[in-house]
Amino acid sequence: MTEWEYHTPPDIDETMSEHLGNFPRQPYMLIYAIRSAAALLLRAWMRVYHRLRVDGQENMPETGSFVLVCNHTSHLDTLSMLCSVPLKRLHQTFPAAAADYFFSSLPRSAVSAILINALPFDRKFRGAESLTVCSELLSNDGNVLIIFPEGTRTTTGELGRFRSGIGRLLAGKDLPVLPCHLDGGLRAWPKGKMIPRPFSLRLRIGAPRSYGHLEKTSESVRQICQELQESVAELGRRNT
């Protein structure tokens, strides 16, 4: 008789709080159920309260992994992007979130990991390591990564300089990346305010591109960042 094979998950001796802060997270039925319910409520809320409109949804590839990059004016950016991906991809959609902010305490980790499905991104000390995690995530099929290459929320509405991480992630890979722009976020929920105000939002999703033809040099990284920054800015000009 052949022996049975047990597929014990690697997180078997982790506590719940460790589980929420680590990445990749093992799938849990209860967490998926809560996240799905929250996503439905969020979609209804964003449509009604913020009258969210999404243009260019058809640009999203139907299969395979891809990256969404967006300007960053408020937390509504992440929420709008989450509402624009198809529901069946919800649990494969990971907004990269600053570990020092979104995973700083257990309640925050719980919201980030359970409701938002956030990927803890260490923007301070271990950026390279976090990029490797993103890279591995995208090498698996069907994952969506949401990144805000400015690295932090703007307080002026000006599009900030794109950090080099996104370039390093994309250079030399045939990985579709879609520039996006959300308009109205700054007015509806500026940094420092507790509660969003009912202003309307409009999300534009640009056409996919990829940078497989470029080698991973500092020159090409800079070029990718610049190109993406310009296309996000261009979508922004069309938005206003």
Partner 1 sequence: MMTISNALHNEIFLTYLAISGGLLGFAGVVLGILTAIGKKVSSIWKTYLGWLVMAPLVLGTIFLGRTATIIGVALLAIFGFKEFARATGLYDDWWLTGLVYLGIVLLGTASFVTDPRLGYPGWYGLFMASPAYVVGALLLVPILRNRAKGQLQQVALAIVGFIYFGWMFSHLGFLANSEFAYGYILYLIFAVEINDVAAFTCGKIFGKHKLRENISPNKTIEGAVGAICISLAVPWLLWFSFPHFEPWHLVVAGLVVGIGGQLGDLVISYIKRDIGIKDMGVVIQGHGGILDRVDSMIFVAPIFFHVVRWIHGIH
> Binding residues for partner 1, per CB under 8 A?
4-9, 12-15, 29
User: How would you list the strands of the sheet with 119-121, edge to edge?
Assistant: 53-55, 202-205, 177-183, 66-70, 144-147, 93-98, 119-121
CB of 10 to partner 1, least distance (A): 11
3-state secondary structure of 230: helix
CB of 142 to partner 1, least distance (A): 17
CB of 28 to partner 1, least distance (A): 9
Which one, 106 or 128, has the nearer CB to partner 1?
106
Which one, 19 or 163, has the nearer CB to partner 1?
19
Which one, 6 or 63, has the nearer CB to partner 1?
6
Which one, 12 or 195, has the nearer CB to partner 1?
12
- Tokens representing 127 are 């950026």
Q: Is the peptide bond before 120 cis (omega within 30 degrees of 0)?
A: no
CB of 7 to partner 1, least distance (A): 3
How far CA 168 is from CA of 57, 63, 110, 227, in Å, comes to 26, 23, 30, 13
